[in-house]
Amino acid sequence: MIQKKICMVGAYGVGKTSLVKRFVESIFDERYHTTVGVKIDKKRLQMEDGELTLVLWDLAGDDELEPLRLSYLRGASGYILVADGCRESTLDIAGDLHSRIAGVHGALPFVLAVNKMDLEAEWRISEDRLARVTALGWPLIRTSAKTGAGVDQTFSTLASLLLQDLK
């Protein structure tokens, strides 16, 4: 059985923990629970080529109170960058984290999840901006931890990228 470590990274309050909870337990909690340090979970996926276990490292949101420790990504096979569609600054933070991670750990497979699709009417990240991100070749998936939209797709897209790397 193949086991892969993947990390959830992004600004605080974007919904990293909620995405993991939705993916692993199929539940959503409206209340905000901040993550301290790292929260680790596991999920088995049945892929075409066999079973894959994802060890999910949900890293605390990056801010001045608790800056992201890049060493946590050591041994990671890939990561999910998470931004909050309602907060434009979180896409800037995701871009910054991507550069920092690539600078330390090299180019790893990743997916950008723009979360809170259930609040799409309140989104502040413009379509133009998202189109520019897509044009960079970033795999971008709109997600909602609340409704579950795009969540499985995000993790399975990354899992496929990881397996492609193995071949």
Residues that bind another protein (CB under 8 A): 5, 12-13, 32-42, 55, 57, 61, 63, 65-66, 69, 71-75, 86-87, 122, 124
Nearer to another protein, 90 or 160 (CB): 90
Radius of gyration of the CA atoms of the chain, in A: 15
Nearer to another protein, 39 or 156 (CB): 39
- Check if the beta carbon of residue 87 is closer than 8 Å to that of residue 124: yes
Nearer to another protein, 57 or 110 (CB): 57
Residue 148 region, left (φ>0) first, then alpha (ψ -120 to 50), else beta? left
Query: Least distance (Å) from another protein to the CB of residue 85?
Result: 12
Query: Least distance (Å) from another protein to the CB of residue 37?
Result: 3
Nearer to another protein, 51 or 63 (CB): 63
Query: Least distance (Å) from another protein to the CB of residue 138?
Result: 24
Nearer to another protein, 76 or 113 (CB): 76
Task: Output the DSSP codes for 37-75.
Answer: SEEEEEEEEEETTEEEEEEEEEEPPBSSSS---GGGGTT
50 forms bridges with which residues in the sheet? 47
What type of residue sits at position 87?
R
Query: Least distance (Å) from another protein to the CB of residue 59?
Result: 10
Backbone angles phi, psi at 134, to 5 degrees: -65, -40
Query: Least distance (Å) from another protein to the CB of residue 137?
Result: 28
Lookup: tokens for 63:
């801010």
